[in-house]
Amino acid sequence: MTTDLPNTGLQNTDQRDADTEPLLSVRDLRVSFGPGRDAVNGLTLRAGRGEVVAIVGESGCGKTLSALALTGLLPSGAKATGSARIGGTELIGASERQLRRLRGSKVSMIFQDASTALNPLMSVGAQIEEVLAIHGGPSRKRRRERAIELLTSVGVPDPAVRARSLPYQLSGGLRQRVMVAMALAGAPDLVIADEPTTALDVTVQAQVLALLREVTRSSVVLFITHDMGVVAEVADRVVVMYAGAVVESGAVEDVLARPHHPYTAALLASVPDPDRPATGELPTIPGRVPPLGERGTGCPFRDRCPRPTERCAQMPPLVPITEGGSDVACWHPGHAGPVSDNTGTNGAISDEVTTP
């Protein structure tokens, strides 16, 4: 039996792994392309029904591969290890036959670009009906009615008429709503949305974000984005990934108000702030995410970090920063500038991590 824990959150220690399993439980998920080529390096998270968890990070941090590992759709050459359980069912290592059955009914995915994810030669209504049929849906007549109900639920106007449209006859915003309807057709426990609004204009983005929150109350939603700006709008919890590793995770209000990892702080600083005087340029993070094969053994952020020390040549563990607060992987978490190794802190940083 699956028990949903209220706001169980993202946990990294055995002690905090409660006996009761939440709807989604991912433990030490790794995706590797071979020795020294780990694209995802130990993703751990837990979420209950109705929770939206944002995975955020720059390009190449392993967000999409994490999602593909959960759906069993990894590219050839990539191997997933670890555990990801949804409603008590293990996804990692499941056979292709099992995965086909699970996709749509337990797990579904909304992609960034609906125009490539939809079949251009089939009406959108028929595509939704097809999903219903795959999951042992009801009679043909009932499937047609259900497709129209789903289009109605995602706010498509004139749903009976639009159901007969081909994808190209719909606007980008409507196509993305159709994708949401298709993802919900099998009533999945886990909906993964990979940059679902990036291709849309700002107004339509806001509508689709609000819609996702509204229609997924009975599922867990993993919302993948590179934009910290949308995290506050859509998510309850956030996982910040850098170079394949989780560097910070916690409740959105905690992480956004008090980022402890320098990478989280830098991502937040690059979000346009309407209250900040416009200087013409957004701050960006100097440097780049190290590609696979160039990540070494220490903290992967040290080439870009404002306060690295010798200790950072070792990989920092992901540990709770305070009781019930965020988890952070940094030897010198805090909000301030450079520190020196002999003091451990320059006075501005008060919550230095000790080796467990």
Ligand X SMILES: Nc1ncnc2c1ncn2[C@@H]1O[C@H](COP(=O)(O)OP(=O)(O)OP(=O)(O)O)[C@@H](O)[C@H]1O
CA distance 41 to 279: 37
64 in contact with Mg ion (CB under 5 A): yes
66 in contact with Mg ion (CB under 5 A): no
CB 238 within 8 A of CB 231: yes
Q: How far is the CB of 195 from Mg ion (least distance, A)?
A: 6
3-state secondary structure (DSSP) of residue 348: coil
268 in contact with ligand SF4 (CB under 6 A): no
Sheet with 24-32: list strands edge to edge. Answer: 38-47, 24-32, 79-86, 89-90
Tokens of 178: 């159709």
Q: Which of 56, 92, 211, 330 binds ligand SF4 (CB under 6 A)?
A: 330
Using the contact rule CB under 5 A, the part of the chain among 60-68, 81-89, 181-189, 347-355 near Mg ion is 60-68
# chain residues binding ligand SF4, by CB under 6 A:
12
CA distance 274 to 144: 45
* CB of 66 or CB of 127, closer to Mg ion: 66
3-state secondary structure (DSSP) of residue 98: helix
Q: How far is the CB of 59 from ligand X (least distance, A)?
A: 3
Residue type, position 158, single letter: D
Here's the x/- map for ligand SF4, 301-320, by CB under 6 A: it reads as xx--x-xx---x---x----
77-106 residues near ligand X, rule: CB under 6 A: 77
Decide which of Mg ion, ligand X, ligand SF4, none touches 262; Cβ closer than 5 to 8 Å per partner kind.
ligand SF4
Decide which of ligand SF4, ligand X, Mg ion, none touches 305; Cβ closer than 5 to 8 Å per partner kind.
ligand SF4
* CB of 25 or CB of 264, closer to ligand SF4: 264
129-188 residues near ligand X, rule: CB under 6 A: none
Strand duo 107-110 + 237-242: pairing: unpaired
331 in contact with ligand SF4 (CB under 6 A): yes
Decide which of ligand SF4, Mg ion, ligand X, none touches 223; Cβ closer than 5 to 8 Å per partner kind.
none
CA distance 305 to 247: 13
CA distance 137 to 126: 13
Decide which of Mg ion, ligand SF4, ligand X, none touches 312; Cβ closer than 5 to 8 Å per partner kind.
ligand SF4
186 in contact with ligand SF4 (CB under 6 A): no
* CB of 62 or CB of 155, closer to Mg ion: 62
CA distance 222 to 200: 19
Residues 6+ apart with CB under 8 A from 149: none
290 in contact with ligand SF4 (CB under 6 A): no
Residues 6+ apart with CB under 8 A from 220: 23, 24, 47, 48, 49, 50, 51, 52, 53, 86, 189, 190, 191
39 in contact with ligand X (CB under 6 A): yes
**318 exposure class (CB count in 10 Å sphere: 0-12, 13-18, 19+):** buried
293 in contact with ligand X (CB under 6 A): no
CA distance 195 to 258: 25
* CB of 59 or CB of 355, closer to Mg ion: 59
CA distance 355 to 182: 46
Q: How far is the CB of 62 from ligand SF4 (least distance, A)?
A: 17
61-80 residues near ligand X, rule: CB under 6 A: 61-65, 75, 77
Residues binding ligand SF4 (CB under 6 A): 262, 299, 301-302, 305, 307-308, 312, 316, 330-332
Residues binding ligand X (CB under 6 A): 33, 39, 57, 59-65, 75, 77, 226, 291-292
